[in-house]
Amino acid sequence: MRVPRALMLAAVPAVLLLAACATPADPGAGGDVVPGGGQPNPIAASGVVVGQGTVLQKDGEEAQFCLGAIMESYPPQCSGPELVGWEWPDDGMWESASGVTWGSYAVSGTWDGEAFTRGEMVIPLALYDPIRPEPDPRADPANAGDNSEELLLRVQEELAAWTEVTVLQSFPENGYLWATVLYDDGTIQAYLDEIYGPDVVVVQSAFRDVP
């Protein structure tokens, strides 16, 4: 899985708290992004979610669910939340080398903000047909944002410094900064809207709620 301008960080516990106060920046101003505006804590999902990524397990260790960038080595290298209750299915869709076992899967389960616990659904990604969400209208060139590249790169740099929430990737496109986190129920989006102003950062979730 290749991700443009991927930003790999670490993850920890649940619920959103404001670590500090900051004055929202004017969207598109390209100017005053307030540094050190704090950060939210990870958000736990209230119901079942599904993720798509690489399950990777080193011998003697718990499996990880990698939802961001994968280093194209052999075996591959990646990091992600612990995948509790994982057992390799008898489907021939995974491989092992040098003490590492890995495969690409869609997995349902529960997310507590720190670890992902496997649910009933485990499907190889090659066979998975997801229900695709409606495209975000902000991806349409007709709805381009008026934020400057300078502003978006400054916001991207500040999100890269987060230590509580995992930002799997972020990149400026069409006048917005698109940022993927493990999970958001709208709280992280609201937090960033308050810090930077609306329509600057578009937050997307790697774990998606199951309808």
Our separate counts of H helices and E strands in the chain read 2, 10
Could you tell me what percentage of the chain is helix, strand and coil, using 3-state DSSP and rounding each to the nearest 5?
15, 30, 55
Round to whole Å and give the CA distance between 45 and 181: 13
Q: What is the pLDDT of residues 93-130, one digit of tens each?
A: 999 999 999 999 999 999 999 999 999 999 999 999 98
For residues 13, 15, 17, 22, the Cα torsion angle rounded to the nearest 10 degrees is 100
pLDDT at residue 16 greater than cutoff 90? no
Q: Indicate the pTM of the whole model.
A: 0.81
Q: Domain residues of the chain, as ranges? A: 49-127, 137-209
Measured distance CA(43)–CA(182) in Å, rounded: 9
CA distance 188 to 18: 10
Q: How confident is residue 137, by pLDDT bands cut at 50, 70 and 90?
A: very high
